[in-house]
Structure 1
Amino acid sequence: MALNFHQLHIFYTVVDKGSFSAAAQALHMTQPAVTMQVQSLEDYFGTKLLHRSTKRIELTEAGRALLPYARQSIELIRETDAAMSRFTRQLKGRLQLGASLTIGEYILPRLLGPFGKEYPHIAISMKVMNTAQIMEEILNHQLNFGLVEAPVQHPDMHMEPVMNDELKLIAPASHPLAQRSEVTLTEAIRYPFVLREQGSGTRLVMEEQLKARQIDPRSLNIVMELGSTGAVKSAVEAGVGISFVSASSVKHEVALGLIKIVPLADAEFKREFYSIYLKSALLPISAVTFLTFLRERDLRQWL
């Protein structure tokens, strides 16, 4: 019997999740099937790898020795998929992902077209929702991975930056700031603001940047909080206030002269977009190919 990567993956997931039942749920397998695969791995090495109890599994000395190699094998498979994905042009299957609001509404629609031309046999299914919902669906195995606008903290989640973005100060065309060639951040925060809701990726990045400049976000004159970038843009256009939004989200309004981007003389609001997926998951090759596309292409030509 040859050493089986699938069994190493199952063994690693059992240890990572702390139980056979949790590993079975994560791997979409039955618990007896998980147990059988671990037993087959133990038979291959001729030694016990896990002590089983009613509460939690524990690694034997042999299991502790095997664990880092199992982890490395998973990483090697991921790296192999990433390296080979650029050479594969006849991929088939469905790409299922979640995207937070700004990414899903304004960024990805401009990228999915070029991606689809290169990989026409991959069907794309995208859900646009907030970061908390994306994490919940990934944890429940309803999505392969997600793209979000702010870092997330979860022990089971892998996160890595895949794209860059920048928030810009926007104002209605008739606003006093719209006539300026540039303004300072101190000048800008004297005016009423329309912002995304608390907890949104855009709001979090804006608040972190203000704090880094010793400005308390609570000191802003926030006259309205809205649940989408589209609503924020409409409110700014109507003269309700000014705001910070992704530069990619206002190209249309700026071209029409409805909204002006106001250059800041003393601040930049740069951020990264992140991919998130389960640490224990092996992404399908379609997902690996899409993430490689985002990392390695010059996306500015489409954005």
Structure 2
Amino acid sequence: MALNYHQLHIFYTVAQRGSFSVAAQALHMTQPAVTMQIQSLEDYFGSKLLVRSTKKIELTEAGETLLPFARQSMELIRETEQAMSSFTFMLEGRLQLGASLTIGEYVLPRLLGPFGRQYPQISIMLKVMNTTQIVEEIVNHQLNFGLVEAPVHHPDLVFEAVMEDELKLIVPAGHPLAGRRQVGIEEVMSYPFVLREKGSGTRQVMEEELERRGIDPTRMKTVMELGSTGAVKSAVEAGFGLTLISPSSVKHEVALGLVEILDIKDISFKRQFYSIHLKSTLLPVSAVTFLTFLREHKLLP
């Protein structure tokens, strides 16, 4: 018998999940099939790798030694697929992914067209929802992966940065600050603001950067807190206040002359967009290709 990646993948999943039955569910296999593959791996090495205790599966010394190599093999396969994805011209498949509000409503729509023309055999089903819902559907194997605006810390998931974005100051047409390319933070703070709700990724990035600069976010004259970027844009257009959001979300309004994008002197509100997927499941090549495509199409100039 030769050592194969499939068995290492099963061993790694059992070790991570601490249960044959839970690992079998994650791998879409029967529990006896998982047990048989682990036994075959133990026969190959001539050593016990896992021990069933009263509560969960525990690694033997041999299992502890094998675990990092199993993890490395999974990472190597991912890197190989990513490196070779650009040479795979006959990709086929149906990607099911979730995206948080800003990404799903304003970033992905303008990228899906070019991706579809380059890879017409890949069909994409996109769900726009909040991060909690995305995590739940990935864990339940209803989505291949998700795209979110902040790192997700979950024992079954891995996350990695795929795109960089930056919040900018958005002012309505005719505002006293309109027509200027750059303004100082103290001048900005003297005007009313319309902001996303507390706890949103956009609000978090803004507040953390202000605090890092020694500026108390509560000094902002917040006249409205709204639950969507669309509502924030409408309020800014109506002249209720300024805001800090992604320029990707106001391209249409800028083109129509409804709002303007300004820089704040010496302050940059940069953030990452992240992909998340199950540790125990390798992404299909079509998904790796899509993520590679996103990395190559930067949002920032």
Partner of 2:238: 238
Quote the residue 2:162 is aligned against: 162
What residue in structure 1 maps to residue 98 of structure 2? 98
Contact residue 194 and residue 240 of structure 1 kept, 8 A: yes
Deviates more, 1:223-232 or 1:153-162: 153-162
Matches of 1:239 and 1:130, distance apart in 2: 28
Q: Residue 179 of structure 1: CA displacement?
A: 4.3
Q: Is contact 1:130–1:200 with CA below 8 Å preserved after alignment?
A: no
Query: Which region of structure 1 is more displaced relative to structure 2, 93-102 or 220-229?
Result: 220-229
- Distance in 2 between residues matched to 1:286 and 1:179, nearest whole Å: 44
Percent identity (aligned): 73
Contact 1:150/1:204 (CA < 8 Å) preserved in 2? no
The answer to whether the 8 A contact 2:172-2:260 is kept is yes
Aligned to 2:17: 17
Moved over 4 A (4+): none
Distance 2:278 2:245 in 1: 29
Aligned residues of 1:150 and 1:205 also touching (Cα < 8 A): no
Match of residue 227 from structure 1: 227
- Structure 1 CA distance for aligned equivalents of residues 29 and 228 of structure 2: 38
Question: In structure 1, what is the equivalent of residue 126 of structure 2?
Answer: 126
Task: Show CA shifts across 1:204-248 (max 9, x none).
Answer: 111111111112222322221212111110010011111011011
The answer to whether structure 1 residue 259 and structure 2 residue 220 are counterparts is no
Q: Secondary structure at the match of 2:264?
A: coil
Q: Return the letter of the residue paired with 2:245.
A: V
User: Matches of 1:28 and 1:218 in 2, distance apart?
Assistant: 49
Deviations 1:164-202 (A, max 9, x none): 111111111122222444321121122221111222211
RMSD of equivalent CA atoms: 1.7
Question: What residue is the counterpart of 1:52 in the other structure?
Answer: 52
Please give the alpha-carbon distance, in whole angstroms, between the structure 1 residues aligned to 2:16 and 2:189. Answer: 47
Structure 1, unmatched stretches of 5+, are none
Provide the TM-score with structure 2 as the length reference.
0.95
| 2:82 matches 1:82 | yes
Quick one: which amino acid aligns to residue 123 of structure 2? A
CA-to-aligned-CA distance 1:86-129 (integer Å, 9 cap, x gap):
10011111111111111111111111111111110001011111
Cα distance in 2, alignment partners of residues 282 and 153 from structure 1: 19
Provide the residue aligned with 2:217 in structure 1: 217
Structure 1, residues 20-42: CA drift from partner, whole Å, max 9, x if none? 12212222223222222212212
TM-score normalised over the length of structure 1: 0.94
* C-alpha distance in structure 1 between counterparts of 2:299 and 2:268, whole Å: 18
Distance across 1 between alignment mates of 2:135 and 2:198 = 17
Provide the rounded CA distance (Å) in 2 between the counterparts of 1:153 and 1:77. 23
Give the residue type in structure 2 aligned to 1:236. V
CA contact (8 A) 1:163 1:274 kept: yes
Q: How far apart are the structure 1 equivalents of 2:48 and 2:189?
A: 64
Deviation at 1:291, TM superposition (A): 1.0
Amino acid at match of 1:213: R
Q: Is the 8 A contact 2:96 2:126 kept in 1?
A: yes
